[in-house]
Chain A
Amino acid sequence: MLVWSRPWRIAAWALAVPLFLIVYGLPVGVIILASFSGQWNDILPSNLTLVHYAKAFRTDSYDALRASLLTGVIASAAALVCGTWAALALRALDRLPKRILDLFFFIPSAVPSVSVGLALLVAFSQPPFLLNGTAMIVLIAHFILISAFTYGNVTAGLARIPADCEQVAESLGARPFYRLRRVTLPLLLPYLVAAFSLSFALSMGELGATVMIYPPDWVTLPVKIFALSDRGAIFDAATLATILGVATLVVLLGLSRLSTKAMTR
């Protein structure tokens, strides 16, 4: 009734659109407006300016954007390789060990990021594993936090690949690596792209663990935004938040086009 009757459809839209605008649109709109604001003492900002953007690309904020993008790409790539490998390896296991390892691989998604940050801080602050104060510890933290999502996405993708395709490939003489390269991975490509996209988006927004372990020369954009807002530089923080959102969106749109292309082959 809700779907087929015109009055109910109008009612549904009348409820959904304002809800979407208030819960999602308003905060994003306020951030974007604030990034252009010289002053904001009334309902709307005044003295609109681009000075915050000029500052963002001149100061150490640019280094933070670079650190975030590099962290996102490297951690997501590592998580994609490991998650894919784990998902492929687990396919060959019996039911019980598969379920146990499956649970094990999903644990990082259940642990709060602050706990991951603290654990890494404690584990890697003493020789021989002295990583505290290096960019590597940030990459490891991001890898841990996103790997479960990558593994989950690839596992779901593998379940949807027709087993017949791989078996026919084998019967045609394809050895395991050839089959993986020519059949399994190409069929899995849309899911790999989706897994990388999700990992990258999560990494770009990660703060909880990073804020506990980041070294001075590897400050990510969320840490910088947090620091700026903590100091009361709301307009600068809003500018970096907008840049962070746009940068993430641009990468995700590019990946989405790649995924669509792979899907429609």
Chain B
Amino acid sequence: MSQATVMERTPAARHFVASAASSVADGSRIGFENVSVTYGALTVLESLTLTVNPGEIVALIGPSGSGKTTALRAVAGFVRPSAGRILIGDRDVTHLAPYDRKTGMVVQNYALFPHMRVEENVAFGLRAHGANGDLIRKRVPECLAMVGMSAYAKRYPRELSGGQQQRVAIARALAPKPQVLLLDEPLSALDAQIRRSMLDELAKLHRDLPNLTVLYVTHDQSEALTLANHIGIMRDGKLKAFGESQSLFRHPPNRFAAEFLGRANLLPVSDLEPTDGQMARVRFGDVTLSAHNYHGVAASGDCLLCVRPHDFRFSHNAAEPNTISGTVISVQWQGDVHCITLNIGGEEVRMTSAPMSSPPRIGELISVYFNPAEVTLVPEDASHG
């Protein structure tokens, strides 16, 4: 029996059959149009405008209370915006009930139904949409196979490890072929090793389902950088920065983005003087340095030089261009890298390097340099962030 004929009871069921007939979920655009969420006098999300294009993974990152989960829950329908519109595809879903939005959601604590076996959990969304038994029997094994949980179909959630439960939660969310997948800190409850392997699996899953649109909320920048096409950085209910992941990492538009995404060194520099193309010369203490002026920081404005810890390299010649010298404050061996903290002109500067057999000693004066194309100038905003 074809999928299109197995469940034609209700309009919702017919719609579901049509979408289930495709071999992979066709993702839809998620649009936030000036979305605000307030609780009394407290604004937890302020005029958020953001688009997640079909097939993209957009990660929202930020510290606790930044509004990232509120934004995700507004898409899911569990938070009602006080202003603005939320679109899924071309549909305005702002005032739709959560069960009419066709989203799949995975949450931090998995939220598997403890009274149902794994296969019943995965079938839940299909049954809720009125799917026929034939379709359920076909789709549930497919989804379990997709997350490598076929052997656990008959188990109860309490008989699974955290990572296995999260895989089932992902299979359950994908089973009804949602238009968008909402992931709310899905790896936070897992230990570091399982988190890394789940991250790889999520990346593989998206390679297998390239049309699936994903909104991913996390406070872990490495998850965002690994998975997301675009990253939004939130703070105090506002979107502070948004951009393509690599670009945002290399050229953060403000101090907060630079510090939150990758813990960059931010050196206060002055006397900005444009040179060729997007390059500029600046003064740091007595030293003249070259850097990429990606954001076109005006010559008159205060600015910061953003240098990632791994962009510093040891220099044997203090007279080399873009070389600065400082005293070693601390040296930490972290297995795959050495982390060295320097005091350069009163600023604490962190650098990382490949493990060394004889790392610099604390108190030693050393010189480091960087490639000007790899560092960027960041405007110093009044709020520091």
Contacts and interface: CB of A to CB of B under 8 A. Distances in A.
B109 interface: yes
B98 A171 contact: yes
A182 interface: yes
Interface of A: 162, 164-165, 167-175, 178-179, 182-183, 186-187, 189, 262, 265
Contact of A186 (B16, B104, B115): B115
A168 B128 contact: no
B111 A165 contact: yes
B107 interface: yes
A160 B61 CA distance: 29
Interface in B110-127: 111-115, 124-125, 127
From A162, A171, A174, A182, residue with most partner B Cβ within 10 Å: A171
B176 interface: yes
B99 interface: yes
B104 A169 contact: no
B128 A173 contact: yes
A172 B105 CA distance: 8
A265 B172 contact: no
B104 A171 contact: yes
Contacts of A164: 107, 109, 111
Interface string B156-194: 100000000000010011001000001000000000000
Given A167-B105, A169-B124, A172-B172, A265 B114 contact: yes
A170 B129 contact: no
Contacts of B176: 172-173
Given A170-B99, A172-B105, A172-B125, 17 more contacts: A162-B109, A167-B78, A167-B98, A167-B105, A170-B78, A171-B76, A171-B105, A171-B173, A172-B172, A173-B102, A174-B99, A175-B128, A179-B99, A182-B124, A186-B115, A189-B115, A265-B115
Greatest chain B CB density within 10 A among A164, A172, A189 is at A172
B228 to A, nearest CB: 21
A84 B178 CA distance: 33
B97 interface: yes
Given A164-B107, A167-B76, A173 B125 contact: yes
Contacts of A265: 114-115, 156
B367 interface: no
Contacts of A178: 128
25 contacts: A162-B111, A164-B107, A164-B109, A164-B111, A165-B111, A167-B76, A167-B98, A167-B111, A168-B105, A168-B111, A168-B173, A169-B124, A169-B128, A170-B98, A170-B99, A171-B98, A171-B104, A172-B105, A172-B128, A173-B102, A174-B128, A182-B124, A186-B113, A186-B115, A265-B156
Contacts of B169: 168
A165 B116 CA distance: 12
Nearest to B184: A164
A173 B105 CA distance: 11
A97 to B, nearest CB: 16
Nearest to A178: B128
A213 B16 CA distance: 58
B77 interface: yes
B104, B105, B172, B173, most chain A CB atoms within 10 A: B105
Nearest to B110: A164
B103 interface: yes
- Which of B97, B113, B129 has its CB near the most chain A CB atoms (within 10 A)? B113
Contacts of B230: none
B101 interface: yes
A251 to B, nearest CB: 24
Nearest to A175: B99
- Give the most central of B112, B128, B169: most A CB within 10 Å: B128
Nearest to B169: A168
Nearest to A170: B98
B98 to A, nearest CB: 4
A167 B101 CA distance: 13
Nearest to A162: B111
Q: Which 8 A-B pairs have the closest CB atoms?
A: A172-B125, A164-B111, A171-B105, A170-B98, A174-B128, A173-B128, A168-B111, A186-B115
Residue of B76, B111, B169, B182 most packed against chain A (CB within 10 A): B111
A181 B156 CA distance: 19
A187 B103 contact: no
Contact of A169 (B16, B113, B115): B113
A173 B129 contact: yes
Interface in B53-108: 76-78, 97-99, 101-105, 107
A171 B114 contact: no
B215 to A, nearest CB: 12
A187 B104 contact: no
Contacts of B97: 170
A173 B113 contact: no
A179 B99 CA distance: 10
A262 to B, nearest CB: 8
Contacts of B127: 182
Contact of A165 (B77, B113, B156): B113
Contacts of A167: 76, 78, 98, 105, 107, 111
A174 B124 contact: yes
Nearest to A173: B128
Contacts of A183: 113
Contact of A170 (B77, B156, B172, B173): B77
Given A168-B107, A172-B172, A172-B176, A187 B115 contact: yes
Contacts of B101: 171
Nearest to A186: B115
A265 B104 CA distance: 25
Contacts of A186: 113, 115
B98 A187 contact: no
Interface string B207-238: 00000000000000000000000000000000
A39 to B, nearest CB: 56
